[in-house]
């Protein structure tokens, strides 16, 4: 099963304090490590996760490098958005009043026909329009986690 995760989920793999549903995010990561699911992300994911950890934590250089190494060891498929995905993200952003960054996750999930797993309430609020969007809580019910 293919899933796109956004940075709101990826951050929970490394930052545990002041976060909710960390245990669910870690279960998702474990499912990936056990090859029960495949996780895909737009390249933006790396920038967002690392930027958040740099600006909102006291992670040092060694810990940040470990985060990056862990992401690569997870064998997450990193997608470089093509012209179609980027243009679709513009449409999603304008229609949904989302940031372009958030819209790119929706566009990525659409282009690879995958579920989008997020903890971002703005994105979750669009589930009626994009039925492939799931929160971590909904995902656990879906996967029987």
CA distance 54 to 83: 30
Residue 120: CA count within 13 A, CB half-sphere: 21
- This prediction has a pTM of 0.93
Q: Where are the domains of the chain?
A: 2-140
115: alpha, beta or left? (left if phi > 0; alpha if psi -120 to 50): beta
What pLDDT score does 123 carry? 98
What pLDDT score does 18 carry? 83
Q: Residues 6 or more apart from 62 whose CB is under 8 A from it? A: none
CA distance 19 to 97: 25
97-117 pLDDT tens trace:
999 999 999 999 999 999 999
CATH superfamily entry for domain 2-140 = 5'-nuclease (3.40.50.1010)
What pLDDT score does 144 carry? 67
Q: Which residues of the chain have pLDDT under 70?
A: 144-145
What pLDDT score does 29 carry? 93
């Amino acid at each position: 099963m293919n899933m796109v995760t956004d940075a709101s989920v990826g951050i929970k793999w490394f930052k545990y304090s002041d976060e909710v549903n960390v245990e669910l995010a870690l279960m998702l990561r474990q499912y990936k490590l056990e090859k029960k699911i495949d996780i895909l992300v737009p390249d933006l994911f790396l920038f967002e996760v690392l930027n958040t950890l740099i600006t909102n934590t006291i992670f040092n250089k060694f810990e940040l490098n470990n985060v990056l190494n862990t992401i690569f060891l997870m064998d997450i498929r990193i997608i470089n958005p093509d012209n179609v995905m980027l243009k679709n993200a513009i449409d999603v952003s304008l229609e949904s009043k989302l940031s372009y960054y958030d819209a790119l996750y929706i566009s990525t999930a659409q282009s690879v026909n995958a579920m989008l797993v997020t903890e971002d309430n703005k994105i979750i609020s669009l589930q009626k329009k994009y039925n492939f969007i799931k929160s971590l809580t909904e995902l656990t019910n879906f996967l029987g986690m």
